[in-house]
Amino acid sequence: MNKFLEKHNLNLLRKSSTLTTVVVVIFAVIILSAVVGLFVNPVLGIILSVVNIIMVAALIYLYYVMDKSIKHIASDMSYRMNRGEQEAIINMPLGIALYDDDKKIQWVNPKFQSYFDDRDLIDVSLADLSEEIVKLIDENEDQSDVVEISIGDNGYEAFVNEELKTVYLYDISKYNTIEKTYDGTRMTMGQIFLDNYDEVTQNMTDRTRSNLNNFVTNQLTNWANKYGIYLKRLSSDRYIIMAYMKDLQSIEDSEFSILDTIREETLKQNSPLTLSVGIGYGDESLIKLAKQAQSNLDLALGRGGDQVVIKSENGRARFFGGKSNPMEKRTRVRARMISQALQEVLVNAGKVYVMGHKRTDMDSLGACLGIRKIAEMNDRECKIIFDDENLHSDVQRLRDELRKEEEINDSFITAEKANEEFDENSLLIMVDHSKPSISVDSELFEKADGRVVLIDHHRRGEEFPENMMLAYIEPYASSTCELITEIIEYQPKEKAKVIKIEATAMLAGITVDTRSFSLRTGTRTFDAASYLRSIGASELTVQELLKESIDSFIEKNKIIESVEMINDNIALCAADDKVYDPVIVAQAADTLLTLSDVEASYVIAKRSDKSIGISARSLGSINVQIVMEKMGGGGHLSNAATQVEGQDVSEVKQQLVEILNEENEK
């Protein structure tokens, strides 16, 4: 049957079983009707047979016409499809290249050729065109991956079919330009604040103040016009700015030179002003941009002012400036207000817990004792969360002295016990640090869920608690003990008084952080020390607590033996592979500052936790905080540190030297 159909060009019937069945049924009905007609009436049967034969002939002819038409349509479609494929390969906006086993080009379509002008591409290695294409071929684990690559100044979407040894390139330079234009015209919003305007102008005549205002406004206006920034003065010490992202990038390239201009020019007029700037970007909502700008300004002020903070909502902050020592701006009024606010928080709290940072130092422990006393003055029991492990000799001596005071000794508890006791009415006070990650117990901070008070003298960093009940951060202070001493002065003393060992511990904290009152000291520092002396602090006991052991002295000098000078005024020590106590490392950095021609010092040493620690110190002319922040740390302009994981001392040293050279070139 199939041979018959094929012979008579009836392939449609052969290939379609349904159509074959229909034809067979029709033939069967025709034959049956003819046979029945012959039996019923011969004449009628003959007529029906003739009619049936005509109908069969008509059906066969109809099929022939239909089959021929279908073949014509199929042939036309096949031709058009083949022609379309050829036209697509040649004219479509997709570059195609075939390559051999040696990754040399065998054939390219005109579009691929156009990407490389008139260069002859046949038998050229793909590596000569783009290392990214070769890398894509070598690493292409998923054949469906489309990867963006760059060749010269143009961007492409690239896809590789390793089975066919084919590279496909689609030019997206136009879309990259559109995206770049869009990103460049996104809005940014910022706030400019004159850090010490009130202090500088409070004794000025109206005329002098007006001249200073005009000078600062003119300088800022010229700067804004230069970079296409919208600038509007909101008050005597505050401005708002709006700019496009592309203009912000230009300002960043200039390292915000306006900071230096205002500082230096106003200093010449004996009216030294500094600027703090917070800029937010990355959001379409102007309300969110304004909030982000205010948050960034708060961060800049919390770090001491005279600097710029640029940050999106979820991005990493970028810092500029911060080259000058922060000017003391806190007043007795602010200290009294904080003291009263802390008193209200304590009165409404249940249990009170205070903790410092890991690797407790004298300032941290002294601050904890001060907070405990403040709580006692407000009829609240306060527990000190403390880790007795890995204490330096001075802290260990103080801890031993505190054990002699039964009431104070009973207030020391472990982090584990604090977690068991802490409930929804408890209050957590963090002192001498603002990063929960370096707390004695970071889990307790999470458990506190906003019932947190923070008192610190370090410059605020990116990692900062939110939704606290009270935060008192003064980077102008020498130490946290200085801040807490001022708070104590305004607390009710009827129920409890500061005893000798507590006052001595806080005085020791100030002494250590100021390096015996030689660094980071102001009039308020001496006022606090004087007050502590008046309530019983013993300088002799402080000296006994801070005495250095012979072993520590030898280790410190061993570190200093490795000193080398960088850029003529920076001393750098990289200790051997031995583990050194961080306090000894810090003391070595302090000692280096006493050497001639040394304006900053960095000491690198291995720590007990297998990380590499760096202690950085400065006399104030060099900002060591910026350098440490680039290595993941932070601190003060003149006192900073960091810890680096996964590297050895030599690798960390090389990284530090590269950063120092970069800073020196600016």
pLDDT single digits (tens) 181-198: 888 889 999 999 998 888
Residue 160, number of CB atoms within 10 A of its CB: 24
Which among 423, 420, 408, 410 is positioned nearest to 351, based on CA atoms?
423
Q: From CA 249, how far away is CA 183, in angstroms rounded? A: 11
Task: Decide which of 176 and 70 is more confident.
Answer: 176
d(CA 278, CA 192): 7
- What's the CA gap between 633 and 52, in Å, rounded? 100
Cα angle at 561 between 637 and 612, to 5 degrees? 55
Whether the Cβ atoms of residue 600 and residue 587 lie closer than 8 Å to each other:
no
Please report, as a single letter, which amino acid is at residue 190.
G
Three-state SS annotation for 224-248:
HHHHCCEEEEEECCEEEEEEEHHHH
Cα–Cα distance for residue pair 626/618, rounded to 1 Å? 12
Sheet holding 166-171, edge to edge: 105-108, 95-99, 166-171, 154-161, 147-151
505-542: b or e for each residue (b if 16 or more CB lie within 10 Å)? bbbbbbbbbbbeeebbbbebbeebbebbeebebbeebb
Confidence band for 398, pLDDT divided at 50, 70 and 90: very high
- Taking all residues of the chain, what is their mean pLDDT, rounded to a whole number? 83
Q: What share of the chain is helix, strand, coil (3-state, %, to 5)?
A: 50, 20, 30
Q: Where are the beta strands (DSSP E) in 282-380?
A: 307-312, 318-321, 352-355
Contacts of 564 (CB under 8 A, 6+ apart): 571, 572, 573
Work out the pLDDT band at 9, boundaries 50, 70, 90: very low
Q: What is the mean pLDDT of residues 405-434?
A: 91
Query: Between helices 582-592 and 550-560, what is the axis angle to 10°?
Result: 60
Query: What are the backbone angles phi and psi of residue 120, rounded to the nearest 5°?
Result: -75, 115
Model confidence at 10: pLDDT above 80: no
Give just the sign of the alpha carbon dihedral 304, 306, 631, 279: positive
**Are the beta carbons of 278 and 293 closer than 8 angstroms?**
yes
More confident residue, 355 or 577: 355
Whole-angstrom Cα distance, residue 409 to residue 430? 19
The end-to-end CA distance of the chain, in Å, is: 93
Tokens of 91: 């004219």
Mean predicted confidence (pLDDT) in 470-495:
88
Q: Please name the residue that has the structure tokens 């109809």.
A: 62
Q: What is the pLDDT of residues 19-54, one digit of tens each?
A: 567 667 766 776 777 676 667 677 766 776 777 777
> Region 451-474: what's the mean pLDDT?
83
Regarding pTM above 0.85, the answer is: no
